[in-house]
Amino acid sequence: MEHSNKTAREIYQEVINNPARKRFGFGQKAVLVNIDPQKAYTRTDLFATAYETDPKQLDYVNELSREFRRLGWPVVWTHVAYMASAEDAGIWGTRTDTPDSLQNIKFDSERSEFDDRLEIDRVKDVIYLKKMPSAFFETQLQSLLVWHQVDTVILTGGSTSGCIRATAVDSLSRGYRTIVPEQCVADKHESFHFANLTDLALKYADVLSVDEVKTWLSGAQASGQQ
């Protein structure tokens, strides 16, 4: 094991700025998967479970979503919520039982609601309720991607060390080019955030600036809905 006195942020910057770093690259058509941008995780003024890395994160998510709609490409939003009994949270929900616990994000609660700052098109966009970290786990996401014939998955939301990472691993495992715009993901602590961005960049995804993603989208060819 290599030892270092560098911070997770410093290690990340070294990796991301390495000119020899290989990329998977963009494909021909993408899906935008916005993972759990709900009040439990975005409203730092209301909930202890919320976090913010880049203060413009939700603005960037809205910008990307508009670009995807312009292209006729799918926009997906996920959120988590559980029954009063929390039995649908499974073993994941058993570690704690406090007002801030995962299992206590109940249906119709404020914590389960999408952030009001988000521009969600409830006619054109796809919304999935998920129970576990990966957006692929027991949702219809895989079928949607097959239907739209996409080869690239772009991920936003949180947390970087949890649901973003889990979805990125599942995405790569299913054969998709996976992109994480750095300014569009967040975590509770910068160590978790940058350590996982580093791991994602080295193994599972291309971690890029949101500007680079927007530049690619601006040059992409629009496609009609099937």
The pLDDT of residue 12 is above 90: yes
Q: Each residue of 130-144: pLDDT tens digit?
A: 999 999 999 999 999
pLDDT for 97-118, tens place per residue? 999 999 999 999 999 999 999 9
Domains of the chain, residue spans = 27-218
62-82: pLDDT as tens digits: 999 999 999 999 999 999 999
Q: What is the pLDDT of residue 7?
A: 96
Per-position DSSP letters for 5-27, written without gaps between them: -S-HHHHHHHHHT-TT-------
Q: What is the pTM of this model?
A: 0.96
Per annotation, catalytic residue among 163, 169, 205, 220: 163
Is 226's pLDDT higher than 80?
no
Q: What is the overall mean pLDDT for the chain?
A: 96
- Give domain 27-218's CATH number out of 3.40.50.850, 3.40.50.300, 1.20.1050.10, 3.40.50.720: 3.40.50.850
What amino acid occupies position 19? P
pLDDT 10s digits, 207-218: 999 999 999 999
Residue 149, Cα to own-chain centre: how many angstroms? 20
Q: Where are the alpha helices (DSSP H) in the chain?
A: 8-16, 39-42, 57-71, 141-148, 165-173, 190-199, 210-218
For residues 80 and 112, give the distance between their C-alpha atoms in angstroms, rounded to a whole number.
6
Distance of CA 98 to the CA centre of its chain: 25
Q: Give CA–CA dist 183/58, Å, rounded.
A: 9
Q: Is 163 a catalytic residue?
A: yes
